[in-house]
Structure 1
């Protein structure tokens, strides 16, 4: 049994590893038998694909049998099990991910190129790049993500293959695309990579129909690390409210994220990064703090606002108290207004007047006085 993939790669690159994944020459059945004999709790989380998850002191460890592909269709593979580390390595995506290490820390590099690529920060598809991509088109998105997180630039041969086969992204499920896109957007500085995705037409298959803009990405991504706000910067633009339903469906976005995008689109129509405090208060009241922050980060990106200026604007936004309309229907009835359709109309009119006058309580006081006077006149 050996450690495999990301944890080995990250140690070689001087990074703190995340999940500790393992590989074994045992078949899944034999792995389960060995874990049972050792008294280790385990779950067949991905047994159909060769993976058994061992749980030790509450910590999960995925153990995957060595595999080689028998058949692929660009989305999933039929595999057979092998005892050959080299065959397992050859079916992996990038050389720097095809590294193994034993419990003593000795690193094994079956392809002979993984260590060099990891040390050089080079993300390259193993063997013939187009063959690797046709096995699983998700590797196109993984290439860009790993180039952003672990690469020093983009390998041109792998990039050319990704561009040539970018139509293959269309065959992937929305869930898989969403997961890769969100992982990309969490990376500290993915700007150059996302711009290349835009320039090469790859992004059009990731967020179809969205009015993406490379300059906006360059200006907007440094303003925020919030994944949804970066998504807004990426997909926002003229007419983007009309593209949201189809994009939401394509990416299988959660209701929470979809609602947030829709609210930001509405707020964008009214928000202004040069607005007065009164105008910002109106925006906060109508749309709420989250929608206003989302809209303003998009508009700041469009305007090319520098991070320092955006931070100041965002802080100002956070320090503005969102007013609460203090008047209820009962207050109007007490003042003398008769229950009925006029009640709601009057309440909305007073609220609009209150907003227009920067939420002044005098507006409400005057309205109540007028209603009371009219009631007295009617009663005489």
Structure 2
């Protein structure tokens, strides 16, 4: 019997108290925490599966003084709020009906039955919280060792249950796979059109998840090759894919963490109307829409002066445009966008009547100040003198 390696998270006292409240034999660690511990990767979330129904979970936690939140109680999920981080607890489930977008579930009693409704074998590994012994119902341990991402059972059936599993496959393949499995790829390609029936928010979440990976180039290329990318992002043609590949390489060269919104911008042509349409279609947040639109205004790399760009568009947009263009962002490091040390009232005080002329002078001084790379207040005063001296009489 394979055991989960000792890891710091398995020795958490707050987690032990939770397991004791629920009963060790009623619970199993499941999913990413088990998979990633076996791969010696960092653990971000801990999930528990349990034979207890949600109200029993809530009652037992309450008796033990553990606060819970019914985050997904209709689907069997309760979140325990622990000192060292929340833990999701989900009652064993089986699918009653599915339509590719949502599932109707019923509570189950057998661990294998719960495992059978999961997507990939490597995500269906269960570890006993006391013994750390692993239950593997579908060959997930072997697939993990072989770096193989494989659907549980028939790949097409799994995808018809939830169309989003197509995108999840490409995300997991990038993280945990070597050579793509032919059955999985074939199923994803044949059923790519079903992604059109999903909510745009779900598609955006998975697409940004893929783009957030350390290196999404292989997955994006694979999605393009098998007709998946054109369904969810038809704007990302071969040229845009090359722009993304160059951006990822540039980020790696600069030792920068990849940003999914910036990478999405790279996958779109530099046309603001297209960026706005894609942002609306994917139901992105207002801030994300603004970033895509600003990035789509990018020019040739040599035409973008880093600090002037940051002053005009903000630091975030400047970094996006410069990085997508393959430019150096060192001039922005440790630099704060300054404010022009001149106000309209100072111009009025020099005898210029309030109105358009004040704005014209202010804009002229500002333009020269930016061109000279933001000199200090004394130089701004000189620039103002020069502009005032150059005014036409009267």
TM-aligned CA deviation for residue 315 of structure 1: 1.0
Q: What is the number of equivalent residue pairs in this alignment?
A: 355
Q: Give yes or no for contact 2:343–2:362 (8 Å, CA) kept in 1.
A: yes
Check 1:327–1:168 CA distance in 2 against 1; reply closer, same or farther (3 A cut): same
Kindly state the Cα deviation for residue 77 of structure 1 after the two structures are TM-superposed.
0.5
CA distance in 2, matches of 1:58, 1:18: 11
Deviations 1:232-286 (A, max 9, x none): 2222x243x11122211222211112112222222x13xx43359xx44433332
Report 1:26-37 matches (<5 A). Answer: 26-37=52-63
Change (3 A) 1:231 1:118: same
Contact 1:137–1:172 at 8 Å: present in 2 too?
Answer: yes
CA contact (8 A) 1:221 1:233 kept: no
2:264 to 231, 239, 256: 231
> Is 1:220–2:247 an aligned residue pair?
yes
1:273 counterpart (280, 295, 301): 301
Residue pairs, 1:315-330, within 5 angstroms: 315-318=330-333, 324-330=339-345
Written as runs of structure 1 = structure 2, the 5 A alignment for 1:331-350 is: 331-350=346-365
For 2:334 and 2:55, the matched residues in 1 are separated by 59
Question: Which of 93, 96, 107 is the equivalent residue of 2:119?
Answer: 93
8 Å CA contact 2:364–2:387 kept in 1: the answer is: no
TM-score (ref. length: structure 2): 0.82
Q: 1:45 to 1:284 in 2, by over 3 A?
A: closer
After TM superposition, give the deviation of residue 289 of structure 1 in Å. 2.9
3-state SS of 1:21 partner: strand
Residues 205-214 or 74-83, more deviating = 205-214
Which residue matches 1:209?
A: 235
Of residues 113-122 and 284-293 in structure 1, the stretch that sits farther from structure 2 once superposed is: 284-293
- Do residues 263 (structure 1) and 294 (structure 2) align? yes
Go from structure 1 to structure 2 and tell me whether the alpha carbon gap of 1:286 and 1:20 turns closer, same or farther (over 3 Å shift): closer
Match of 1:253 among 252, 270, 284: 284
2:389 to 366, 369, 373: 369
> Larger % of helix: which?
1
Cα distance in structure 1, aligned partners of 2:301 and 2:333? 14
Q: 1: distance between equivalents of 2:293 and 2:216?
A: 25
TM-score (norm 1): 0.85
Q: Which of 2-11 and 33-42 deviates more?
A: 33-42
Q: Which runs of 5+ in 1 are unaligned?
A: 301-309
Q: Which residue of structure 2 lines up, in the alignment, with residue 128 of structure 1? A: 154
- Offset at 1:342? 3.2
Deviation at 1:150, TM superposition (A): 1.6
SS of 1:124 mapped into structure 2: coil
Counterparts of 1:71 and 1:351, CA distance in 2 = 64
* 1:40-79 mapped onto 2 (5 Å cutoff): 40-57=66-83, 59-79=85-105
Tell me how far apart the structure 1 counterparts of residues 133 and 373 of structure 2 sit (CA, whole Å): 68
* 1:122 Cα deviation after fit: 0.9
CA distance in structure 2 between the partners assigned to 1:2 and 1:323 by the alignment: 55
Following the alignment from structure 2 to structure 1, what is the Cα–Cα distance between the partners of residues 199 and 57?
31
Cα deviation 1:21-51 (Å, max 9, x = unaligned): 1111222233333334444332221110011
Is residue 16 from structure 1 mapped to residue 42 from structure 2 by the alignment? yes
In structure 2, C-alpha distance between the alignment counterparts of 1:18 and 1:358, rounded to whole Å? 44
- Deviation (angstroms), 1:201: 2.5
CA distance in 1, matches of 2:331, 2:113: 58
Between the aligned partners of 2:365 and 2:349, the Cα distance in structure 1 is 16
